[in-house]
Amino acid sequence: MKIVGIIPARFASSRFPGKPLIDLKGKTMIQRVYEGVKQASSFSQVIVATDDQRIVDEVKRFGGEVMMTKSSHVTGTDRCGEIALQVDADVIVNIQGDEPLVSSAQLDTLCNAFRDKNTKIATLGIKGVSEDDLKNPNRIKIVEDKNNNALYFSRSPIPNSHHGSDQIVKTYPYVRHIGLYAYRKETLLEIVQLKRTALETIESLEQLRWLYNGYRIKVVETDIETPNIDTPEDVEAVLRFL
């Protein structure tokens, strides 16, 4: 099975412009992400996908592989879909470019889900969500079925605890989403053709488009916690880890 890792990276982030090129103790964020992904044993190829020449130049500077994509892509998945048309792969893994501490163990665990031929899309989740993360709309929560397939993703605390007893709420295994996706290549090329849905627009979560259209998303449990960088305020947490 040939697995290709793709790191979508754009310069013009609405919440944090220029984010891939910020300095994190002597290395740019995109370099730290790339080097972390390369440590995983599952990948036959790792590619940065961008629409900005400044990111192309930086990836070439540190010796990485990079491909230019259209600037019109709305999501990282769309950007991965363009690259998927040009590479030989069975599985494509979408590694967000704002995960400078991405774990190779996490990535290998995610890739292992495709040993099951029924897995078409997979992602990661971690149990034990803090009270702050439950309320934080930048920390995505998941509800799963008994087979660890996602039922729903939300920026809100789910399940809603209004009618639950204190004991049930305290012991419920809330799950937080870790934003890594993997898809069989043919599945990726299908889902990038789907039209946006109202659910996706309301929550601003593209994976709801896939669920709405009947695709199953396998949630693979991980116990590895790595902070990502959504906003400038998140940088300090990553610097503490480094």
The CATH number covering residue 87 comes to 3.90.550.10
Range 101-139 burial, b when 16+ CB lie within 10 A, else e: bbbbebbebbbebbeeeebbbbbbbbeebeeebeebeeb
User: Looking at residue 239, what is its pLDDT?
Assistant: 85
Q: Say if 144 falls within a structural domain.
A: no
* Residue 19 vs residue 225, higher pLDDT: 19
Q: Which residues pair with 92 in a beta bridge?
A: 4, 183
Domain range enclosing 51: 3-123+178-195+206-220+227-241
CB-CB contact of 114 with 123 (8 Å): no
164 assigned to some structural domain:
no
The span from the CA of 130 to the CA of 125, in Å, is 14
DSSP-derived 3-state class of residue 147: coil
Confidence band of 233 (pLDDT split at 50, 70, 90): confident
Range 173-185 average pLDDT? 94
pLDDT, tens digit, for every residue of 181-206?
999 999 999 999 999 999 999 999 99
Give per-residue pLDDT as tens, 23-33.
999 999 999 99
* Res. 14 pLDDT band, cuts 50 70 90: low
The answer as to whether 68 is a domain residue is yes
Give the model's pLDDT for residue 232. 76
- pLDDT of 162 reads 75
Inside any domain, residue 210: yes
pLDDT beyond 80 at 156: yes
What's the domain count of the chain?
Answer: 1
Evaluate whether residue 12 is within a structural domain. yes
| End-to-end Cα, the chain, rounded Å | 33
pTM above 0.85, yes or no: yes
Place of tokens 């879909």: 81
User: Is residue 112, in this structure, part of any structural domain at all?
Assistant: yes
On whether residue 50 sits in a domain, the answer given is yes
Best CA proximity match to 43, nearest among 83, 79, 92, 8: 92
- Beta strand 91-95 pairing with 3-9: parallel
DSSP three-state, residue 178: strand
Q: What is the mean pLDDT of the chain?
A: 92
In a domain, 161, yes or no: no
Residue 99 pLDDT grade (very low, low, confident, very high; cuts 50, 70, 90): confident
